């Protein structure tokens, strides 16, 4: 995804900065800077989104485990993902039943 967004941004800069507007060296610098900045912003944004989703899943699982430690065994744990946390949650559900 990051590569696709970077390619689109680089193509736009290449079309906007025509050879008559900038010389070839400055145009290459503009394309390289655009690619670097776009890649950084996209990767950083995707990292934040991934961290938030992981934090949400682990906090929900932690809250359920706290309820279990307090003796509340009739809780329902919703499963929203298809990853290692899902496997952990399924094993916890099997252990509770």
pLDDT tens, position by position, 22-52: 677 777 788 888 888 888 998 899 999 989 9
Phi first, then psi, for residue 10 (nearest 5°) are -65, -40
Which pLDDT score, from 0 to 100, does residue 49 have?
92
20 pLDDT exceeds 80?
no
pTM: predicted TM-score of the whole model, two decimal places: 0.60
Using CA atoms, how far residue 72 sits from 13, 87, 94, in Å, is 59, 21, 15
Question: Residues 1-22: what's their mean pLDDT?
Answer: 73
């Amino acid at each position: 995804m990051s590569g696709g967004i970077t390619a689109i941004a680089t193509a736009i800069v290449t079309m906007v900065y025509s050879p008559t507007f900038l010389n070839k060296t400055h145009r290459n610098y503009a394309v390289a800077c655009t690619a670097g900045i776009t890649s950084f912003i996209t990767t950083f944004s995707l990292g934040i989104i991934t961290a938030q989703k992981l934090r949400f899943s682990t906090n929900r699982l932690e809250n359920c485990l706290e309820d279990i430690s307090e003796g509340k065994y009739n809780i329902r744990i919703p499963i929203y993902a298809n990853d290692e946390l899902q496997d952990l949650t399924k094993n916890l559900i099997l252990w509770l039943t």
